[in-house]
Chains A and B, each alone.
Chain A
Amino acid sequence: MTGDDSERLITQVRSALERDRAVSIEGEASKAFLGPRADGELLSTRGHTGIIEYRPDELVVTARAGTLLSELDAALGAENQMLACDPPHFGGKGTLGGAIAAGFSGPARPWQGSVRDGLLGVELVNGYGERMQFGGQVMKNVAGYDVSRLMVGARGTLGLILSASLKVLPRPEYTRTAVVAVDRVEACGRSLNLLRKSFPISGSCYVDNHLYVRLSGNEAAVEDASETLGADLEVEESFWDQVRDHEHPFFQGNRPLWRVSLARGSSSHPENCQEQLVEWAGAQVWAYTDDAQSVIELGEGEHATPFRNVAADSSKPIGTEDKYVRRLKAAFDPQDIFNRGMVV
């Protein structure tokens, strides 16, 4: 199903405003496990789908918010291209709008950037019911404040995203994963080199005492790097999608899972927690524990957030510890109609 459902969506927002009701934005609900649930009437982007424009030689794709990431991947793949960022699909159902609202990134993040890095423009409806366009389809654009990127990770609390333009890259001509059996300490040391050396890296993952490094580029460059890294095992390319989408066996079950964001080159790994999967050359850690904050010593700016199955999770995605966050919310959505309850 492909279609422009924007008129209905805007009408629903305006109607909610008039009736002073809140709306809860939802695409395919692929990230419904993330707390908390927003209050309000369902505002569904499911019918607002489809690619609006895609020109391979512009390296940009523009699509409606409800478009499945898998649909984007297929369209780009047909032209031997891919999204520059690599957001998780979760259950194969993630949408473009949801990827922006959540702001998560897959294993390629340190080398290829995040959704925020790859976002060029958005069309949105603010809390006044106004349809607005920020950014655009060009790579470089500094006219006005960067409202587009402000939407990334805002969990839909600043407005309803109608469509967005994302940067696209050519698919690498050759990809290989170098796998080495190492312990945790050794993996830390090797991970540092992944930032410091000019290897053609496009992903890293440490799990089950193995460090996986994805290398992408021309064949000779990839093979050179693979040899230097001392690869001794082969792995299917689908391994990376499984890690990104949490379909890897590590993510099975319903134990409490935390996401820990560490500094680049950090050594403050959660030592008291045995079960970990580590991405981003050490900077993103997935850990099974009842309370990550009590087992991990976090440095400045580092943070641990409950991700799945964490009991009594009362955290809010958008904290308002400082007044600027509250004022910013009010600047976009003064009646607090979008995803009420997500902001403290």
Chain B
Amino acid sequence: MSNPRVLELFRAHLPPQSIITDRAAVRPFETDGITAFRERPWVVVLPETVEQVRSVLQISRDHGVPVVTRGAGTGLSGGARPIQDGVLLTMSKMSKVIEVDLDACTATVEPGVTNLAISDAVREHGLYYAPDPSSQIACSIGGNVAENSGGVHCLKYGLTVHNVLGIRVQTIEGEELVLGGKTYDSPGYDLLALMMGSEGMLGVVTQVTVKLLPEPPDKRVLLGVYDDLPKAGDSVSAIIGAGVIPAGLEMMDALAIRAAEEYVHAGYPIDAAAILLCELDGSASQVEADAGRVSDIMKTKGAINVRTATTEEECELFWKGRKAAFPAMGRLAPDYYCMDGSVPRHAIGRVLSEITRLSTVYQLPVANVFHAGDGNLHPLVLYDANKEGELQRAETFGGKILEYCVAVGGTITGEHGVGVEKLDQMCLQFSEAELNQFHRLKAAFDPGALMNPGKAVPALARCSELGGMHVHEGKVPHPELERF
């Protein structure tokens, strides 16, 4: 669909290079990081100023055109998948660092600045921005706000919500909301927290002020090797229980280890059942003390070997395999489906057993990579989309994993967001009353339902069609499990 009048108005407010309608040229925008969901937008706009963003929103509102906001398009839940009749508002041209305040230890940037570019801009001052999603080279800070992105270091340093001090948001009704800033709090409702992870449903972020942290003086990475997956899982609880808060605590299973090792040669033991990567940072004496404790715990819990990286190069090599885990899957299967459930740490063992069982039922292999420290699992279901029925089977398998995560007291998404991908599972996690509350909340900011419609929160009709509405205080899936 094309809307000539709307296009004409866009052309009056935006430079020609900021409007793309050519069918071939819009193609790169038809999907985000989850390529199974595609839709070609009729127009892509790339504003260069806040004024232009406001114009796009105003014109869209006046003509009842839906708006999907996109950052760098690295999202993993289809949250930025375009809508056929909608505008795709792409923020990548707004990529200036506006200010670095060394007294406040903050950086104020436009939304299109990449996550890593913030740290790059302040590294010379011994500072950095802590959240580090795997896609940090490419993903934008505006997108990080929309998804409340995490990363491998959020166990100690928190998610985006803990590291952003202020944002500016343009609403579909034409207001600019200045939320937070450089202070630690603001009077009234915490709309700043509400905007974090709101998946582009409430407004468009046009400016972000982040907290910068001093680089830790010392850092060390331990690699624990296990011949048994549950032993690695036990080590995770034991490390946390012993009072150590690692900067990162990551686990990989046998399939993931082998794929990563063949792909980047990080020196991982390819016959291991599991490895645990534990990064410790802080003052030299703190790191020294923690490393000794973690190493002892790993050995006590049955690690057959514990290796330590102390130099920058060695640390990077240890991480290299973990960071390459996703692309490495390409060597095992043409396609993979990455899940993002988050569960209490004590349930990790049970969830892994259930995943193994489901893998047999659905006859699809699964590799497990996860942020073990905070219970955030990334099972990668391997499949071949060219084989009849495999995609559907992978999706069903993935859905079952998420149902189990909810049943053990976890959540369907720890950091990737709901987008379009997990709408069905939202029906399991939330009751009708809760979903209605979400819809009313959205309507407070977007009464015409023009901002990213159809994403993040399922319509009640969808849930009743599935027949899977979550039931509180009554029957729930997997009644055999203890809830807590």
A binding-site residues for B, Cβ under 8 Å: 52-53, 55-60, 62, 80, 103, 105, 109-110, 113-114, 116-117, 126, 128, 130-134, 136-147, 149-150, 152-154, 158, 169-171, 173, 192, 195-198, 200, 217-218, 220-221, 224-225, 261-267, 280, 283-284, 300-303, 305, 317-319, 322, 324-325, 327-328, 330-332
Q: What separation, in Å, do the CA atoms of A117 and B192 have in the docked complex?
A: 12
User: Contact: B415 with A264, CB < 8 Å?
Assistant: no
Interchain CB contact under 8 A, A145 and B414: no
| Complex A-B: 20 CB contacts under 8 Å | A53-B484, A62-B484, A114-B185, A132-B431, A139-B154, A139-B342, A139-B375, A140-B414, A141-B411, A143-B412, A143-B418, A144-B434, A149-B161, A196-B126, A196-B127, A261-B185, A264-B104, A267-B103, A325-B188, A327-B445
Q: Judge whether B434 and A133 touch: CB under 8 Å.
A: yes
A317 and B187 contacting across the interface, CB-CB below 8 Å = yes
- Residues in B whose Cβ lies below 8 Å from that of A225: 283
Of chain B, the residue at the smallest CB distance from A52 is: B484
When distances are taken between beta carbons in the complex, the residues of chain B under 8 Å from A263 are 104, 181-183
Are B187 and A305 in contact, CB atoms less than 8 angstroms apart? yes
* CB nearest to B470 among chain A residues: A133
Picked from A58, A142, A305, A331, the residue with its CB within 8 Å of the CB of B415 is A142
7 shortest A-B CB distances, which residue pairs?
A301-B181, A265-B103, A170-B243, A220-B285, A265-B104, A263-B182, A149-B193
Chain B interface residue number, banded? 35 or more
Contacts of B283 in A (CB 8 A): 198, 200, 217, 220-221, 224-225
Chain B: residues with CB nearer than 8 A to chain A?
101-106, 126-127, 147-148, 150, 154-155, 158-159, 161-162, 165-166, 171, 175, 177-178, 180-191, 193-194, 196-198, 201-202, 211, 214-217, 237-238, 240-245, 282-283, 285-286, 289-290, 342-346, 371, 374-376, 409-418, 422, 426, 429-431, 433-434, 437-438, 440-445, 456-457, 472, 484
Contact among B147, B148, B175, B186 with A301 in the assembled complex (CB-CB below 8 Å)? B186
Which of A113, A143, A152, A330 has the most chain B CB within a 10 Å cutoff? A143
Q: Is the CB of B285 within 8 A of A128?
A: no
Which residues of chain A come closer than 8 Å to B165, judged between CB atoms?
264
User: From residue B425, how far is it (CB to closest CB) to chain A in Å?
Assistant: 8
Task: Give which listed residue, B194, B286, B409, B472, contacts A217 with CB less than 8 A.
Answer: B286
**Given A132-B431, A318-B189, are A171 and B243 neighbors across the interface (CB < 8 Å)?**
yes
Cα-based distance from A186 to B148 in the complex (angstroms): 38
The tally of CB-CB contacts under 8 A between chains A and B is: 274
Contact in complex: B346, A192 (CB < 8 Å) = no
| Chain B: minimal CB distance from A192 (Å) | 6
CB of B193 within 8 A of CB of A146, answer yes
Choose among B171, B241, B376, B430 the residue that contacts A57 (Cβ–Cβ < 8 A).
Answer: B241
Contact partners of A134 in chain B: CB under 8 A: 434
Name, among A56, A142, A196, A261, the residue most crowded by chain B CB atoms within 10 Å (CB to CB): A142
For B286, list chain A residues within 8 Å (CB). Answer: 200, 217-218, 220-221
Q: Which has the most chain A C-beta neighbours within 10 Å: B283, B374, B429?
A: B283
Whether B443 and A140, one on each chain, are in contact in the complex, defined by CB atoms closer than 8 angstroms, is: no
Identify A331's interface contact among B422, B429, B444, CB under 8 A.
Answer: B444
Chain A: which residue is nearest B125 at the CB level? A196
Cβ of A158: which chain B residues have Cβ within 8 Å of it?
Answer: 189
Pick from B159, B245, B426: contact of A170, CB below 8 A: B245
Say yes or no: A138-B375 contact (C-beta < 8 A), given A303-B183, A324-B191: yes
A109 to chain B, nearest CB (A): 6
Given contacts A196-B102, A283-B184, contact A146 B282 (CB under 8 A): no
A142 touches B430 (CB 8 A): no
Docked Cα-Cα span, A186 to B234, in Å, equals 49
Residue of A nearest to B150 (CB): A140
Closest to A159 in B: B437
Given contacts A117-B162, A144-B434, A145-B194, contact A262 B411 (CB under 8 A): no
Nearest CB of chain A from residue B468's CB, rounded to whole Å: 15
- The residue in chain A whose Cβ has the minimal distance to the Cβ of B429 is A143
Complex Cα–Cα for A317 and B216 (A): 39
Residues of B within 8 A of A262 (CB): 183
Expressed in whole angstroms, the Cα–Cα distance for A80 and B438 within the complex equals: 38
B434 x A139 contact (CB < 8 A): no
A136-B175 in contact given A146-B148, A265-B104 (Cβ < 8 Å): no
